[in-house]
Amino acid sequence: MSSPPATPQRNDEPTPAGVREDLDLTIFIACFNEEKRVVPTLETVRAALAELPLTYEVIVVDDGSTDCTGAVVEEFARANPAMPVRLHRNPRNLGLSRSFVDTAFRGRGRHYRLVCGDNVEPKESMLKILRALGTADIIIPYYPVLPGKSRLRKIISRLYTRIVDLLGGYRIRYYNGCALYRRYHVMRWASYNYGFGFQAHLITTLLDEGATYSQVPLEGFHLTKDRGSPLNLRNFLSTGHTLCEIFIRRIRRELYGN
């Protein structure tokens, strides 16, 4: 799998003054009504990072939960003072994209990764992607097999990936996994997109800017939640907007070289 032209030594790109990077890694755990799953997620993160020589922090965002997610995280943090866990409560449900960008600004790590609070990623998969830290600007996971995902969702996911590749001019296997980024790149280039297209927007933007990438196969499983169908007008509109932006950037890149 060939990568697009990349700026030499992009991994050594200096971080601007004023951006704090005194840790190796910031983990953002996104939660909406995850009181039963967030502690197993935290335990998985702790077990994985115990095997790596990395300094890190964990920022859990309670995105307007109506259950006891926040209280459960606070109790875990009190009971485990050696693990650097912070809780942020959004005043209301702001959505994953907004929380993803906001949390990047709250962090102190050089690298940044989203971990979903529903504990769908095993420790071995987490280790595999974190061990690739520093080898490229973006470590992009993909899932050769994803148990629990319906046939319709698999078809839609493949179709979406092919459309993004066609419009953006790249060959990425999967855009909606929890990639590993330089935190400053998220702060600099991520936008407040709505819907699940925000990672495709960010990844293609970074590739347009010359970022290097590596794709890593992982194991995981899909957890279906009772939150309504993702096939709704709001998601279609937000995804359509993202796809239009990706295509417009490709036209600009090919016409003007930037």
d(CA 149, CA 87): 30
Q: 43 versus 240: which is more confidently predicted?
A: 43
Local confidence band at 153 (pLDDT 50, 70, 90 cut-offs):
confident
> Stretch 26-33: mean pLDDT, rounded?
97
pLDDT at 147 over 80: no
DSSP H/E element including 60 = strand 56-62
Q: What is the pLDDT of residue 228?
A: 56
Interval 64-121: pLDDT, tens: 999 999 999 999 999 999 999 999 999 999 999 999 999 999 999 999 999 999 999 9
Q: Please give the structure tokens belonging to residue 26.
A: 């910031």
Name the band, by pLDDT with cuts 50, 70 and 90, for residue 258: low
Averaged pLDDT for residues 10-28: 81
Highest mean pLDDT among 48-57, 156-165, 244-253: 48-57
Percent of the chain with pLDDT over 70: 87
Per-residue pLDDT, 224: 61
* Local confidence band at 2 (pLDDT 50, 70, 90 cut-offs): very low
Tell whether the model's pLDDT for residue 8 goes beyond 60.
no
Report the range of poorest mean pLDDT among 116-130, 138-152, 164-178.
Answer: 138-152
pLDDT of the residue at 155: 87
How much is the pLDDT for 102?
Answer: 96
Looking at every residue in the chain, the average pLDDT score rounds to 88
Q: Is 242 or 5 the better-scoring residue by pLDDT? A: 242
Q: What is the reported pTM?
A: 0.89
**Count of residues in the chain:** 258
Q: How far is CA 227 from CA 32, 148, 233, in A?
A: 11, 16, 15
